[in-house]
């Protein structure tokens, strides 16, 4: 009887350790993914191009009333 309890204790301990490892890996992955947010300053941003400048040029003929 004592041997059975010892074996059961060992099996339960191993199962709990495996469950904890899986949980902690999932948690670390979740936290790592959450920390990776979009940062526009990390990308090269050129600004408006020649088509935009042509369209929005002053004195183009559009009169504000």
pLDDT band, very low/low/confident/very high, at 13 (cuts 50, 70, 90): very high
Compute the mean pLDDT over every residue in the chain, rounded to the nearest whole number: 83
Residue 15 has what pLDDT?
94
9/41: higher pLDDT: 9
Rounded distance between C-alpha atoms, residue 12 and residue 2, angstroms: 15
Q: How far apart are the first and last CA of the chain?
A: 97
pTM of the model: 0.46
User: Which residue, 9, 13, 14, 16, is CA-closest to 1?
Assistant: 9
What are the angstrom distances between the C-alpha of 21 and each of 7, 17, 25, 30, 39? 21, 6, 6, 14, 32
pLDDT band, very low/low/confident/very high, at 16 (cuts 50, 70, 90): very high
pLDDT band, very low/low/confident/very high, at 65 (cuts 50, 70, 90): very low
């Amino acid at each position: 009887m004592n041997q059975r309890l010892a074996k059961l204790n060992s099996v339960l301990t191993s199962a709990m350790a495996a469950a904890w490892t899986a949980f902690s890996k999932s948690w670390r992955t979740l936290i790592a993914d959450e920390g990776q947010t979009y940062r526009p300053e990390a990308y090269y941003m050129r600004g408006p191009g020649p088509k935009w400048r042509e369209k929005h040029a002053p004195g183009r003929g559009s009169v504000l009333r």
